[in-house]
Amino acid sequence: MEVNQTTEMSTNPNGGDKKSTGSISFVIKTLIIGLLCLLLLIPLALLSGLVDSRKREGEKVTSEITSRWGKSQNLMTPLLAIPYKPNLAKAEETYLYLIPNEVTATATLEIENRHRSIYEVPVYTAHTEVKGTWLKQDIQQALSELKGSYDLSRAEICYSISDPTGYKDRCQLQVNGQALKVKTEMALTLVSYIDDDVYNTPPGVVAFNEYVGEGGEGGAQSASYPLTEEELSDLSFQLKLEIAGSKYFGILANANNATTLIKGNWSDPSFQGKRLPTDYQISKNDFEATWNTFYEESCIIGDEALPSLYKNSHFISFLNPADHYAQTSRSVSYGILIIVLTLLSVFLMELWLRQKGRSINILHYLLTGISLVLFYTLLLSFSELIGFRWAYLIASIMTVGLNTIYFRLILKDRKMAALLCGIMTLLYLTVFVLLQIKVYALLIGSLVLFIILAIVMYTSVKVMHD
d(CA 401, CA 259): 57
Give per-residue pLDDT as tens, 415-458: 888 888 988 998 899 889 888 877 677 777 788 778 877 877 77
Comparing CA positions, the residue from 267, 275, 307, 281 lying closest to residue 293 is 275
Average the pLDDT over 105-119 and give the result.
86
d(CA 77, CA 100): 9
Structure confidence at residue 290 (pLDDT): 92
Please state the length of the chain.
Answer: 466
In the predicted structure, residue 306 carries a pLDDT above the cut 60: yes
Average the pLDDT over 76-93 and give the result.
83
Comparing CA positions, the residue from 91, 244, 268, 105 lying closest to residue 163 is 244
In the predicted structure, residue 323 carries a pLDDT above the cut 90: no
Residues 6+ apart with CB under 8 A from 116: 61, 64, 65
Give per-residue pLDDT as tens, 338-384: 999 898 888 888 877 777 667 788 889 899 999 999 999 999 999 88
Structure confidence at residue 25 (pLDDT): 72
Comparing CA positions, the residue from 106, 125, 103 lying closest to residue 114 is 125
Rounded to two decimals, what is the model's pTM? 0.70
What sections of 40-144 are H helices per DSSP?
41-69, 136-144
d(CA 123, CA 327): 23
Strands 257-264 and 102-116: parallel
Measured CA to CA in angstroms, residue 29 lies from 62, 114, 115, 455 at distances of 50, 54, 51, 21
Average the pLDDT over 241-251 and give the result.
87
Structure confidence at residue 22 (pLDDT): 53
Give per-residue pLDDT as tens, 17-75: 555 555 567 778 888 888 998 999 899 899 988 888 888 888 888 888 888 888 888 88
If you average pLDDT over every residue of the chain, what do you get? Answer: 79
Average the pLDDT over 129-146 and give the result.
89
Comparing CA positions, the residue from 208, 224, 121 lying closest to residue 162 is 208
Whether 269 contacts 282, CB under 8 Å: yes
d(CA 451, CA 286): 42
- Other beta carbons within 10 angstroms of residue 119's beta carbon come to 18
pLDDT bucket at 462, cuts 50 / 70 / 90? low
Structure confidence at residue 21 (pLDDT): 56
% pLDDT > 70, the chain: 81
Q: Which of 105-114, 253-262, 318-327 has the lowest mean pLDDT?
A: 318-327
How many Cα neighbours within 13 Å face the side chain of 448? 18
pLDDT higher for 227 or 461?
A: 227
pLDDT higher for 439 or 105?
A: 105
% pLDDT > 90, the chain: 17
Computed from CA positions of residues 176, 182, 186, 192, in that sequence, does the dihedral angle turn out positive or negative?
A: positive
Structure confidence at residue 373 (pLDDT): 93
Structure confidence at residue 12 (pLDDT): 45
Structure confidence at residue 19 (pLDDT): 52
d(CA 270, CA 190): 27
The dihedral over CA atoms of 404, 407, 409, 414, expressed in degrees to the nearest 10, equals: -70
Structure confidence at residue 5 (pLDDT): 41
d(CA 70, CA 166): 5
Strands 119-134 and 178-180: unpaired
Structure confidence at residue 464 (pLDDT): 62
Average the pLDDT over 78-86 and give the result.
88
pLDDT bucket at 209, cuts 50 / 70 / 90? very low
In the predicted structure, residue 194 carries a pLDDT above the cut 70: no
Q: Which of 14-23, 100-109, 298-307, 384-393 has the lowest mean pLDDT?
A: 14-23
Domains of the chain in sequence order: 40-52+325-465 (no CATH), 71-320 (2.60.40)
